[in-house]
Structure 1
Amino acid sequence: MELRVLNYFVATAQELNMTRAAQKLLVSQPALSRQIADLEDELGVKLFNRQPRHLTLTPAGQYLFEQAKEILALTAKTKSNLQSTAIISGDLTIAAGESIAMQRIMNILSNIIQDYPTVKIHILSGDYEFAKRKLNVGTVDFAVIIGNLPLSNYASLQLPEKDTWGVLMTKNDPLVKKEHITAADLAGRNILNSQQAEAMHYFDSWFGNYKDQINIIGTYNLSFNGTLLVKNHAALSLTLDKLADVSEDSNLTFRPIYPKMTESITVIWKHSTNLSAVAELFLNRLQASIAED
């Protein structure tokens, strides 16, 4: 598979219309159709279901679409970094979960951008599985991982910050009167849990004998949308501190859980990867920032 043909395929998969894709690529429609047909012959699979004026991806086409986007992103990143060896330039990509510790990361990135204006920064938000997959395929330089997770396959640097688990609720909820929330307080309540915490059974021990009385109505991947559900009084949210707006102007407030549960924050990268100049710069500045504390 040639990169040029993969680019043609991705454009066609995005447009789901051969004419629009050809216009986007600045090629003729017959030439594009021929390239896609040749790609299908090469792979021995059908990539598109062809309908009048419209295309849909087959399961094989959907799989190739996801893989091709990763391949093209990695190719562009590699080319950019190779072309910027004379000075610190190129792209720095970080996959990260939501944490107050990201403020340290953002401070470092802000200083790098100020010192090296040609550097491009890309932040991808997601949970551990998302960040790990991006790191493994090479489309990100670093991942910021929240929690005590298996990291033996990676180089790592733990940040000083820790996140504290608690319950997000509206300010008129009866639990607002409490300084901290116990599992007994959540019995009979609708609870929205972190997708990562739910999948890894973080709270099973903390729930204890109340586990069957706590109604987990669903999960969130990133906290903002879960916050909207809390605002609608549909549920309380088990979440980390300092992620939601709990200022005087907000209708939300946060109470830590008891017994207390905290999470470490770790920056990881691949052992076997030769870091680009800008990635080395970021890592050096991160280490210096931690040493200063």
Structure 2
Amino acid sequence: MEIRILRYFLAIARERSIIKAAEVLHITQPTLSRQIIELEEQLGTKLLNRGNRNRKITLTNEGMLLKKRAEQIIELTDRTKLEFKTHNDEIIGDIYIGGGETDSMRFIAKTAINLQKVYPNIHYHIYSGNFDEISERLDKGLLDFGILIGPANIEKYNYIRLPAVDTWGVLMRKDSPLASKKNIEIGDLKELPLIISRQSLVENQISGWGGEDIKKLNIVATYNLIFNASLMVDEGFGYALCLNKLVSTDNSSNLCFRPLAPSLEVTLDVIWKKNQIFSKAAEKFLERLQIEFVHSNKKNDL
């Protein structure tokens, strides 16, 4: 399976038309059609649902799987080529970091700022996702580092535990009856329409905190990223269980955040694969991250 053919396939998936894809790729339509037919024969499966001339092409289930894999393969291929183009004495390149939503991303930002003062040609790419998505991309070499929130199985990774914790609570409208409370207890949640993270680890954390299965509560929606969930809260659809400092609750906002009681805090880890061979840029980032970690711990000890 050639990288060139995978690029052809992705062009078709993007344009949803062999004719348009051929124009973008600057090849003839018969040539492109033949290449994709040969790819289907090679894989032994149909990848495209081909309509008539006026209908757009759609992907089969197998085609959608290949699209995901092809994107990963090409991303890794392009990244590898870029790393080998740099001169031996240059620190230049891209660093790929993935993680869930957390205010502790500020620690990563400060590390990047300080490193950029010395190596201005390093660029950063941030990927947001849950633990399963981050660990998958780490294992496949698509990320250099991951940021994990809360308890997770990280035995197969090296890690630095950040000198910070995140706190769970409830995001609500300021005109909510519960907004007058300083803290939210499990009894307060039982009748509320709740919007929760779809991660199973989160369900386990909240269930352990409340002493009962969270699925027995009135869950009306789930979210992957809190911003969209915050809009639903703002419209009065429900209350979001989330981490603090992720949504603006200043005077101009309709929303407020109230922590859980008893307090439910989670740790944050920066992880990377054991025996990882880093690019020079990623190597320098890890060195700087360790320096920032030591400095932060010294400040906390004062």
TM-score, normalised to structure 2, is: 0.93
Whether 2:282 is the aligned partner of 1:279: answer yes
Question: Does the CA-based 8 Å contact 1:167-1:256 persist in structure 2?
Answer: yes
Whether 2:234 is the aligned partner of 1:231: answer yes
- Three-state SS of the structure 2 residue aligned to 1:168 is strand
Look up the match of 1:159. 162
Whether 2:80 is the aligned partner of 1:78: answer yes
Question: Does the CA-based 8 Å contact 1:191-1:216 persist in structure 2?
Answer: yes
Look up the match of 2:107. 104
- Three-state SS of the structure 1 residue aligned to 2:57 is strand
- In the alignment, the residues of structure 1 paired with residue 120 and residue 26 of structure 2 have an alpha-carbon distance, to the nearest angstrom, of 32
Look up the match of 1:20. 20
Moved more, 32-41 or 192-201: 192-201
User: Which of 60, 65, 68 is equivalent to 1:66?
Assistant: 68
- Three-state SS of the structure 1 residue aligned to 2:80 is helix
Q: CA deviation at 1:94?
A: 0.6
User: Which of 263, 269, 273 is equivalent to 2:272?
Assistant: 269
Q: CA deviation at 1:66?
A: 0.6
Structure 2 residues without counterparts, runs of 5 or longer: 297-302
Look up the match of 2:244. 241
Q: CA deviation at 1:214?
A: 2.8
- Three-state SS of the structure 2 residue aligned to 1:156 is strand
Question: Does the CA-based 8 Å contact 2:167-2:266 persist in structure 1?
Answer: yes
User: Which of 206, 210, 228 is equivalent to 1:203?
Assistant: 206
Look up the match of 2:121. 118
Look up the match of 1:55. 57
Question: Does the CA-based 8 Å contact 1:197-1:203 persist in structure 2?
Answer: no
Question: Does the CA-based 8 Å contact 1:162-1:262 persist in structure 2?
Answer: yes
Over residues 69-118 of structure 1, what are the superposed CA-to-partner deviations in whole Å (9 max), with x where a residue is unaligned? Answer: 00000001111112124211111111111111100101222333443333
- Three-state SS of the structure 2 residue aligned to 1:51 is coil
Look up the match of 1:177. 180
Look up the match of 2:299. none
Q: CA deviation at 1:204?
A: 1.4
Instruction: Call closer, same or farther: CA 1:94–1:212 in 2, change over 3 Å.
Output: closer
Q: CA deviation at 1:212?
A: 7.3
Instruction: Call closer, same or farther: CA 1:210–1:277 in 2, change over 3 Å.
Output: closer
Question: Does the CA-based 8 Å contact 2:151-2:201 persist in structure 1?
Answer: no
TM-score, normalised to structure 1, is: 0.95
- Three-state SS of the structure 2 residue aligned to 1:94 is strand
Whether 2:132 is the aligned partner of 1:132: answer no
Matched letter for residue 135 of structure 2 = K
Q: CA RMSD in A?
A: 1.6
Instruction: Call closer, same or farther: CA 1:171–1:272 in 2, change over 3 Å.
Output: same
Q: CA deviation at 1:16?
A: 1.4
Question: Does the CA-based 8 Å contact 1:92-1:141 persist in structure 2?
Answer: yes
- In the alignment, the residues of structure 2 paired with residue 211 and residue 199 of structure 1 have an alpha-carbon distance, to the nearest angstrom, of 10
Question: Does the CA-based 8 Å contact 2:99-2:148 persist in structure 1?
Answer: yes
Question: Does the CA-based 8 Å contact 1:187-1:210 persist in structure 2?
Answer: no
Structure 1 residues without counterparts, runs of 5 or longer: none
Question: Does the CA-based 8 Å contact 1:88-1:278 persist in structure 2?
Answer: yes
Instruction: Call closer, same or farther: CA 1:35–1:209 in 2, change over 3 Å.
Output: closer
Question: Does the CA-based 8 Å contact 2:207-2:213 persist in structure 1?
Answer: no
Whether 2:178 is the aligned partner of 1:188: answer no
In the alignment of these two chains, the number of paired residues is 293
- Three-state SS of the structure 1 residue aligned to 2:170 is strand
Question: Does the CA-based 8 Å contact 1:184-1:210 persist in structure 2?
Answer: no
Q: CA deviation at 1:199?
A: 6.1
Question: Does the CA-based 8 Å contact 1:85-1:277 persist in structure 2?
Answer: no
**Displacement over 3 Å in runs of 4+:** 111-115, 197-200, 209-213
Look up the match of 1:3. 3
Q: CA deviation at 1:31?
A: 1.2
- In the alignment, the residues of structure 2 paired with residue 161 and residue 119 of structure 1 have an alpha-carbon distance, to the nearest angstrom, of 26
Instruction: Call closer, same or farther: CA 1:210–1:275 in 2, change over 3 Å.
Output: closer
- In the alignment, the residues of structure 1 paired with residue 212 and residue 125 of structure 2 have an alpha-carbon distance, to the nearest angstrom, of 44
- In the alignment, the residues of structure 2 paired with residue 270 and residue 209 of structure 1 have an alpha-carbon distance, to the nearest angstrom, of 35
Question: Does the CA-based 8 Å contact 2:99-2:134 persist in structure 1?
Answer: yes
Over residues 197-227 of structure 1, what are the superposed CA-to-partner deviations in whole Å (9 max), with x where a residue is unaligned? Answer: 5664221132336957631112111110110
